[in-house]
Structure 1
């Protein structure tokens, strides 16, 4: 599948209840059905609801170009893993994406490099596009952030390499210090780090795209221009009207020359 010019993702985390998730999904689906950039594939939108809402959300977006995925998955495909959800089941349901390695999973659920690598491999093994979250805990220079993200990526690919897997991976750069903050990280900082992440290559039979998350909202994509491949959105997309604004920004950006805003190497 050809990769879009701009990728937008929304994780609903655990903010919405069941009915609120369905109402929001229906509103966004109505937007997606008539938005030229979504329909043409220039802008790809994926939605990650809570596990119990996956079946009706998949139904809400049926007939649109929006792809539904999960906020987590097990590193195993089946077996005695109480409370876990496998990539096999997610793929069977019709999911296309799986989020892996979010900072909250690392911090609150003690997910380590081995578990994250297992989940990334499980995603690829089952035909799901991993949304691999990378980011440094504290604010510092862009060069340090890039170096740490490279270490995280290397560790996350270990099992996929061992299993000789391949596929496309979305690198969601989310500096941990910007998650839940009042504003995103500084624009120039985001641009510099995402440009650095785009240079990752030679890490196996994988292709990468880079999106930014961490208090991302309306206006950010227009300011960043082509320095980023899209956004990973949270609470600032809880209003469907705000998400519509961001989709419009992505559509405008997709019509610009692709390398116009990137710094020279």
Structure 2
């Protein structure tokens, strides 16, 4: 194992906080990983890692060396990619928001993998902003405004959103003609995973954003149950149009206040600020941007 490979092993151990998980990620025997770190620490004359029974963490020297390794490895990969006339290859770990994955990304993956046969994808699903470094993820695809300053976001789409409710709900509470009429209405409240509070309904009025909090009997944290609650007649919801196209066509949901739409929902590829954008992540982000543009959601 050469010095660059030892750096890769060290970086993965720091990120995963585990020799075993790093070995699994790199598809190396645990003993090979352990020996690589022993050689590295001996050559540098410094202790880089603190080992406990529960986890591994970098020492002060280790953290400094980790930051330098990140820059060196990223620079090397970028330099090689600029001279290599080959398609990118290797493992790409991504985490996708569920409805975006099911409606857009996964159906198009066969074409992506046929075009880039050297790339192997590991896909996780979730709505939360995972700790990319600790969980060994290269990038995530999320809808919504970027809140975490430690992440770098590249916008790949803006999704049209609508306000809607079930016919049964509207028969009971009436079809609102303006924002003032919403005073007697209820909402299915979507809870922020960051704050735990209900997100307000949002409306664009003469080019300006207005927000409104409505009471509701049900609060949710997932996109699917949010839509299902609206279909069940539990209140108003605001969702990307693509998510309820079938329900609108079938009549189980009805759009309201179309002249006062919610702002478009940004969709972004996010990756750690501490890392340069790798060729594989850049390629995947380019592909996602083209995919959403062609889909016109």
TM-score normalised by L of structure 1: 0.26
Q: Which structure has the highest strand share of the two?
A: 2
Please tell me whether Structure 1 or Structure 2 has the larger radius of gyration of its CA atoms: 2
Structure 2 length-normalised TM = 0.24
